[in-house]
Amino acid sequence: SSFAVDVAGYFRSREIAYSSFSGRWRGGFNLSNLGGKINYDQGGQENFIPTNLRFGGGFDFIFDQDNTLGLTLEFNKLLVPTPKDFDGDGDIDADDNAEYQEQSFFEGIFSSFGDAPDGFSEELKEVTWALGAEYMYQDAFMVRTGLFNESEEKGSRKFFTIGAGFKFKAAQVDLSYLFSTSQVRNPLENTLRFSLTFNLGEEFIND
């Protein structure tokens, strides 16, 4: 058994008046699965749980009271150390694995920023990024699109999405379709998603 926590933060500025529109900045982070190792089978070795760092920011273009365009950029990195050749003999053997397992989850988080075999350039390839845009009309109708990118050496997940949403009083309906733009087949490609949300007792705050 193990215990894990999440730490998150979010910031949204007040509405700022520019020459031809108003705007609002957004930013946030989420550090998830902070916790000790876990055994997935009886008698097996302890494994790191998928500690993950996600952070990003965005800007809302508020053209008038009916029309808003929001742009968001997000980055994501897995904070799990990479197994490596600790003794430098050219092979990752049982001794290397034993030393790898001696790392605590806390040590593993920090070592994950500098343990890629090919150095900093490979560390950057371990970071995925996503870019999204949402147009909203009268806070009731939304049109969305987005891109997701992962290095070809780290999984090659590359997606493009389009979607729409409609809000009526306490209910919201969302629909999206995901295309894969990678040459590597992925079970998520050509996925249609539908969701229905109810907001009960929601308090609206207008800046």
Q: Per-residue pLDDT tens for 26-69?
A: 999 999 999 888 877 766 677 888 999 999 999 999 999 999 99
Contacting residues for 196 by C-beta, under 8 A, at least 6 apart = 171, 172, 173, 174
The answer to whether 101 touches 84, Cβ cutoff 8 Å, is no
Q: Are 174 and 163 in contact (CB under 8 A)?
A: yes
CA 70 to CA 88: how far, in whole Å? 49
Per-residue pLDDT of 143-192, as tens digits, reads 999 999 999 988 899 999 999 999 988 899 999 999 999 988 888 888 99
Cα(40)–Cα(47) distance, integer angstroms? 8
pLDDT in tens, 114-131: 888 888 888 999 999 999
Rounded to an integer, the average pLDDT of 73-82 is: 92
Q: What is the pTM of this model?
A: 0.83
Is 90's pLDDT higher than 70? no
